[in-house]
Structure 1
Amino acid sequence: MALSAEQFHRLVDQHGPTLYRVAYRLMGNRHDAEDVVQDAFRSVWDSRDRFDAEKGERAWLIAILRRRVVDRWRRKKQPMPLSDHDESTPELVAPAEPEQGFSDEMQAALQCLSEELREAILLVVVGELTHQEAADLLNVPLGTVLSRVSRARKKLHLELSTRLSP
């Protein structure tokens, strides 16, 4: 079943803020996050004829977003910044600040994780995917995602304990 314009707008309204939060955490700054979310929604519209509501909207959208993030990383080939505090940049998708609830220390701790650990924890925690959805998206076994999320949580706890201790 092809995605209608009305369904597309509903997807943007319903899932845009989540995609933006995931993109912000993966990209590390507002500008790149906005760009990859726009690229992802452009890809969604371009592939609307392949939309399958049975497979789960959020997982499909995050899979597209993930591909756009990886494309951006490949093009940039430079270290990601820890945060972007440019308040003059208008928000295109999510009115709520993704920084709320994520301190600079948390953003720095996330950047200390390997890409595979960071991606797993962000898909499950920020992207609100089930472990199985994340496994399907990453094309790895469920046990691998469970292990990566567990290791990421332990490393984040250790990193934050070190950063926040007096």
Structure 2
Amino acid sequence: MAVVVREFDWSILMARAQAGDREAYRRLLDEITPYLRSLAAKAHRDRSDVEDTVQDVLLTVHSIRHTYDPSRPFGPWLVAIAHRRIVDRLRRQGRTVQHETPLPPGHETLAATEANYLEDTVDSMAVREAVEHLPPAQREAIKLMKLQEMSLRQAATVSGMSIAALKVATHRGLKRLRKLLNGSGGES
């Protein structure tokens, strides 16, 4: 009996929502969400899949709410949408699982964090040392734009250089850094 009453209430709320009653629409969505969650939980084990499915259903309800006929029961209309979205997600998961191959840690280039630590330290030290050998304008442009990751506008404000000058200095600085790091050390 409670399900029939709830479904009747949902039918009324949807009819009001179709007429433009925002509060009725908000209440409808609030009331159907736990029900949709229970339907999705029957098909999915992962909580994030359940929530994603509920959101898919709610978005579909929103986009096709104009197709609901108020003279018909709301429950079957909603369940049909929910089942389609649940099946869609299961199909996507099935396709993904078929095409993915999990890689064991042995396939990683440097699985041990200790190996990455020394490499990162040496590279960053070499880069910072090379940056110090750049001409002043290029050094400042590289530090602001690349190391501190400022936008052109921010770097122009901080440095007092024009945006065009910053672009040129950054380009030349990167070119010079490549030469310094590759060992040729030529001027540009």
Fold match, TM over 0.5?
no
- Normalized against structure 1, the TM-score is what? 0.43
TM-score, normalised on structure 2? 0.38
Structure richer in helix, relative to its length? 2
Give the number of the structure with larger relative contact order, counting CA–CA contacts within 8 Å between residues 6 or more apart: 1
